[in-house]
Amino acid sequence: MQSPVFVDVSYHYDDDIRGSSQSYQVVLAAVVALTVAAPGYTSHERSYSDNSFEFAKILRDDRHQEDDGAYNMDVETDNGIVLAESGSPSAPGGAVIMAGQYSYTAPDGTLVVVKYVADENGYQPFSDLLPVSPEFPHPIPDFVLEQIRRAAEEDARYGSYSDESNDSDDRLRSYSAP
């Protein structure tokens, strides 16, 4: 009888663990190197020091509040901004109606003055510099008049659409859930 032959088929995990550990170390070293080499930000780069903002000093700030809810205020800055506003709770339900104006100098040197009212109809600004819609009735283009005429002819020829005519349609009343 032959003696059994033993073959070492065991797997040595030590080699893989050691190799794996070394690859993790290489990856970790690469990440650290990239992090250190990346451009950093210093505190002065994150601040808003590009001088694109102009800081204005307040020359006047008068605010007065009455016991009944009425108020007025006047504000003026050294760069030419002026605000004057007053309001009182005289709208229905105690809502405050405000009126006032503000002005400033535009970058091109134009003096901008805006007067406004805020009441139950909303905020309503008034200024020569604000765009305005054309006065109505403005001339209606011919193609629009033609479309209106055609629609009237179709209504006369086929009858106008109304919900009442569809209510009598049996198909609508016979609908049932699937």
Does residue 65 lie within any of the structural domains? Answer: yes
Does residue 92 lie within any of the structural domains? Answer: yes
Does residue 103 lie within any of the structural domains? Answer: yes
List pLDDT tens digits, range 100-121: 999 999 999 999 999 999 988 8
Does residue 79 lie within any of the structural domains? Answer: yes
Does residue 28 lie within any of the structural domains? Answer: no
List pLDDT tens digits, range 5-59: 555 555 555 555 555 667 778 888 888 887 777 776 655 554 545 556 778 899 9
Between residues 42 and 144, the one the model is more confident about: 144
Does residue 80 lie within any of the structural domains? Answer: yes
Task: Provide the pLDDT for residue 6.
Answer: 55
- CA 24 to CA 34: how far, in whole Å? 15
Give the residue numbers spanning the domain of 114.
Answer: 58-126
Could you give the angle at the alpha carbon of 172 between the alpha carbons of 170 and 175, nearest 5°?
105
Closest C-alpha to 73, from 82, 61, 59, 56: 61
List pLDDT tens digits, range 53-92: 778 899 999 999 998 889 999 999 999 999 999 999 887 7
Does residue 145 lie within any of the structural domains? Answer: no
- CA 37 to CA 14: how far, in whole Å? 34
- CA 147 to CA 153: how far, in whole Å? 10
Domain count, the chain: 1
Phi-psi region of 161 (alpha: psi -120 to 50; beta: other; left: phi over 0): beta
- CA 149 to CA 146: how far, in whole Å? 5
Does residue 62 lie within any of the structural domains? Answer: yes
Residue 129 has pLDDT above 70, yes or no: yes
